[in-house]
Amino acid sequence: MHREVVRAHGHENVTAAHASTFEVTTDDYLTPAGDCILAVEADRAPADFDEAFVAAVSDADATVTATLEAHGHEVSVEGRGDPALTYASERSMVGRTSDYVDDRTVMLDAEYAADGFDDALVAALADGAEATFTLTVE
């Protein structure tokens, strides 16, 4: 198993209303339109991840798990890897319920998107809580 850990923060505009994606970004701002974004000010982006992690994610049979923790609340989402994933983004990471790939995509066929995250976790993020976003691949 390979693991990447990203530290980030919630933001007052976190709504987690998006039905097909969730995102963690290095940006230090969030507009109300960013309804897929769960955390900002991430200390790392996919381009910073270890080559062995990226290689493992490139396996079509890989299971990718994203876990977001903030203020004692934790949610995990499973998806899959794909040979098309580049992990080249220097800005943000996006989990998708679809099979759409761009340089920000970190998982495909996610079990759910931002709108599926626990209300208590979303409330903590909207209060600006510190967050830990962990990606694992098996």
**What is the phi-psi region of residue 16: left when phi exceeds 0, alpha when psi lies from -120 to 50, beta otherwise?**
left
- CA 118 to chain centroid, in Å, comes to 15
Angle, vertex CA 8, rays to CA 44 and CA 55, nearest 5: 35
Instruction: Give the pLDDT of residue 116.
Output: 97
Sorted by where each starts, the structural domains of the chain and their CATH numbers stand as 2-137 (2.60.120.630)
- pTM value surpassing 0.95: yes
- CA 85 to chain centroid, in Å, comes to 14
pLDDT band at 18, cuts 50/70/90? very high
In our burial notation (b when 16+ CB lie closer than 10 A, e otherwise), range 29-38 reads: ebeeebbbbb
Q: What's the mean pLDDT in 8-29? A: 97
83, 71 Cβ separation under 8 angstroms: no
Which pair of tokens denotes residue 17?
């209303």
Question: pLDDT of 35-72, one tens digit each?
Answer: 999 999 999 999 999 999 999 999 999 999 999 999 99
Number of Cβ within a 10 Å radius of residue 51: 8
Question: pLDDT of 80-134, one tens digit each?
Answer: 999 999 999 999 999 999 999 999 999 999 999 999 999 999 999 999 999 999 9
pLDDT band at 9, cuts 50/70/90? very high
